[in-house]
A and B are shown apart, each in its own frame.
Chain A
Amino acid sequence: MGTGRTTQVLAGVGLLFLLLPLAVVVLASFGATDYVAFPPQGWSLHAYADALDHTEFRDSLVLSLQLAVLVAVVSTALGTLAALGLRILRTRAALRLEALFLAPLAVPHLVLGVAILQVIGLLGLGVSLPVLVAGHLVICLPYATRLVIAALATIDPNAERAAAVLGASPWYVVRHVTLPHARPAIVASLFITATVSFDDVGIALFLANADTQTLPVRIFHYVEYHFAPFIAALGAVLIVVPVVAAVAVERWFGLGRLFGLTTRR
């Protein structure tokens, strides 16, 4: 049984609603006016040239990219370690630990940001890139851990036992039997954690000073009071790049598993 016409129309309207503000940013970035207008009046690339002239935004972009790469690599490594460890334990304690690894999802980013800020203050430390990395590790770990746990759950333990019986050392089994199964999940995790880190404002907002303003934080503070076409140009790039990357990762490795949709693939 399919869905009725009414449902399909409502779904279409809903998808339009979801994509509308993104499409608006991309279209507005090509406008010719020196203020943001929608629908755009005339077409021009001046907003893009303007964006290149804002060096403080370029610095923030570089910072955000460094942060995203570091966080993606470290959180995926830690998530993989955690998934392997939990798989070996297989006890009630392991289940409780697994809940701890998903716990950051339940803590509002705002609260976590305040809390980390107050710890930094208590220790008399300043805000720096390592602090930002550590803060983002917490919000990214649940995604990494969950993805790798899901991938490892599909391995037949007999394959590992067979390798061990045939004389492979535990490390050799992990390296050549267990981890290859997790490779698609590891790639998906690198992508998701990089995206979460790059897009985050909730935590980065509290850990920002003049030198540690990530791009979303800088854009947020700018659009709080100003409105300029070059923001739309930046936005258009930041919308198109991850979407294209997501389609590519989905093609090659499948992101669907993260969303619990493996059954009908």
Chain B
Amino acid sequence: MSAPEPRRSGAVGLLAAPVAVLGAMLVVPLLVIVANSLVHGAPGVVGGWPPTLAVYADVLGDPRVLAVLGRTLVIAAIATACAVLVAYPIAMVIVTARSRAVRAFCTIAALTPLLVSVVLRTFGWQVLLGAGGPVAAVLTALYGPRRLLGLIGTDVATVIGLTHMLVPFVLLGLLPALDRIDPNVLRAADTLGASRVRIFWRVVVPLSRPGLVAGAMIGFALGCTAYVTPALLGGQANPVFAALVYERNFVAFDWNTGAALSVVLLAVVVLSGVVIGRFARWPRRTRQRRPVGAGTG
């Protein structure tokens, strides 16, 4: 049957260029930072032998680094949770809207932030939360001139900015999952007398869980690697982990430590994905173990 189809060698030719680009600009650079992180040399020195884990010992033994890592994870977790809370109602309205115009408007409005550079979105929050903005005016009226800068320089501002950045990504996870739910299932639950709250928790959330998990994974990964938003809203006095990575590489030119911090960040992102994936599966497993017929009523 494959007689008329182009031959394999053709496919190899087609794939050569894109694979070469990914190899040169993705695989090789990642291998290089792993190699650089295994060298314990002076700042600015690249390469060395034999490999050593000394840099990792330095990095992970530094209480300041661990404190910043902890704060970064907490901020990313709170921002992801807030983004899920903001995204769910929007996704529900988009998926169930009867009017095509409402659906189109909500989709475009919700995804518009993705079209705008994160620098400008964050600038908007600087205006809103910072000096000369409405939030600073209210806070100055309440607490006096020490709040002239509004919320800029606080973790609250960072969480607000990150939440705003993450909502569209969580939505991209949720929308296809909610879209696949058969409306008849919701109608059935409604007919059988379940309240809207109960339908949401017992039908909508479980059925959209894969999308929720995907959205939360992406959101958390982006949240703990964000640099621009925390730098502009949280200020220099409150660095997140990404700021350490930037400072080591770009200000101190300590490439070995910079590489090790990058590898740690990558590991944190991968691990968080595994943990979120595991965590999301567990309630379903326990329910399956229940004997048939138990728990009815």
Contact = CB atoms under 8 A, between A and B. Distances in A.
A142 to B, nearest CB: 10
B183 A1 contact: yes
Contact of A20 (B24, B128, B225, B232): B128
Contact of B8 (A14, A88, A205): A88
B122 to A, nearest CB: 8
Given A14-B90, A82-B15, A121-B255, A219 B22 contact: no
Contacts of B262: 110-111, 114-115
A110 B265 contact: yes
A19 B21 CA distance: 36
Given A1-B186, A82-B18, A227-B131, A110 B225 contact: yes
Interface residues of A, number: 98
Interface stretch (A33-41, A47-55, A180-188): A33-41
Contacts of A121: 46, 255
Nearest to B129: A21
Interface in A116-154: 116-119, 121-122, 134-135, 137-138, 141, 145
Contacts of A264: 103, 179
B272 to A, nearest CB: 11
B96 to A, nearest CB: 5
Contacts of B132: 35-38, 227
Nearest to B250: A206
Interface in B183-240: 183, 186-187, 190, 196, 221-222, 225, 227-228, 231-232
A103 B266 CA distance: 13
A11 B106 contact: yes
B120 A238 contact: yes
A10 B232 contact: no
Interface in B96-155: 96-98, 103, 106-113, 115-128, 130-134
Interface in A135-175: 135, 137-138, 141, 145, 160-161, 164-165, 170, 173-174
A2 B96 contact: yes
A78 B249 CA distance: 31
Contact residue range for chain B? Answer: 35 or more
Contacts of A106: 221, 269-270
Contacts of A210: none
A21 B167 contact: no
A155 to B, nearest CB: 13
A7 B115 contact: no
A101 to B, nearest CB: 7
A141 B18 contact: yes
Interface of A: 1-4, 6-8, 10-11, 14-15, 17-25, 28, 35-39, 78-79, 81-82, 84-86, 88-89, 97, 100-101, 103-104, 106-112, 114-119, 121-122, 134-135, 137-138, 141, 145, 160-161, 164-165, 170, 173-174, 195, 198-202, 205-206, 216, 219-220, 223-224, 227, 231-232, 235, 238-239, 242-243, 246-247, 250, 256, 259-261, 263-264
Interface of B: 3-8, 10-15, 17-19, 21-22, 24-26, 28-30, 32-33, 36, 46-47, 86-87, 89-90, 92-93, 96-98, 103, 106-113, 115-128, 130-134, 164, 167-168, 172, 175-176, 179, 183, 186-187, 190, 196, 221-222, 225, 227-228, 231-232, 242, 245-246, 249-250, 255, 258-259, 262, 265-266, 269-270
17 contacts: A3-B89, A19-B113, A38-B133, A78-B17, A88-B11, A88-B14, A106-B270, A111-B30, A112-B30, A114-B245, A138-B21, A199-B118, A205-B246, A238-B120, A243-B115, A259-B107, A260-B176
